[in-house]
Amino acid sequence: MVLVCGTATEVGKTWVAARLLTELRSRGLTVAARKPAQSFDVDSRGVSLGGATDAEALAAASGEHPGEVCHSFRSYHRAMAPPIAAQVLGLPPFTVSDLRDELSWPTDGVDVGVVETAGGVRSPQADDGDVCDLSAALAPDIVVLVADAGLGTINSIRLTMDALTGGGAGTAPPVVVVLNHYDGGHEIHRRNRAWLTERVGYRMVAAPGGESELADLVARA
């Protein structure tokens, strides 16, 4: 199982997850996507104001129904962290254990399951935990960390990696960092990637363009 998370909101987690699913399916692998909880603003008709929801985008890539990707009772119509959205809407609180227990895969199994979280890794996912807590509960085989390629990303990636891995202690799963919106002609992007690879030692993939490399890493995990 692959956990897709990000250094922050709006860094392209859903886009990267969808491209990964598409690439894996093109290789003949069976896949499934899951979004434990999602939140978004809606208009007076209950339609998402931001276009396709995360569950809809992931479902289009995995070939599933959006309701299979994210349960309807975990889709919150407020653009806030899911447990905060639930609180604002007057809905019952839920726990990391609830999200773990609600996660189900097709009965005939899949080659690769992809779970996408909400917001950054310290963003609340449930009433009692964030992405790091959810990752510990799910024990993924590999984590894909999505980050912006531009200015400030070295700091945000290193802080996020410390949170995910406990500063290098324990038995955390391997992490692949995806530099999203990467432009090889942009000096800051190139130097950020080089520094994180050569000085810090992170496993890096650039996107767009690195979907095949990312799929290779995921398939081997």
Q: What is the CATH number of the domain that holds 161?
A: 3.40.50.300
* pLDDT for 171 beyond 80: no
Residue 91: what pLDDT? Answer: 98
* pLDDT for 169 beyond 90: no
Amino acid at the residue 77: H
pLDDT band at 167 (very low <50, low <70, confident <90, very high): low
The catalytic position among 35, 71, 74, 189 is 35
CB count in 10 Å sphere of residue 174: 13
As a whole number, mean pLDDT of residues 194-213 equals 96
* Residue where the block lists tokens 């599933």: 64
Could you list the residue range(s) of the whole structural domain that residue 111 is in? 2-220
CB count in 10 Å sphere of residue 56: 18
Tell me the percentage of the chain whose pLDDT exceeds 70: 98
* pLDDT for 168 beyond 70: no
Structural domains counted in the chain: 1
* pLDDT for 42 beyond 90: no
Q: Lowest mean pLDDT: which of 30-34, 49-53, 65-69?
A: 49-53
pLDDT band at 155 (very low <50, low <70, confident <90, very high): very high
Catalytic, 13? Answer no
Strands of the chain, DSSP E = 2-6, 31-34, 38-39, 75-76, 112-120, 124-126, 129-130, 142-148, 175-180, 203-206
The per-residue pLDDT for range 83-130, each reduced to its tens digit, is 999 999 999 999 999 999 999 999 998 999 999 999 999 999 999 999
Start-to-end C-alpha separation, the chain: 9
Q: What are phi and psi of 25, to 5 degrees?
A: -65, -35
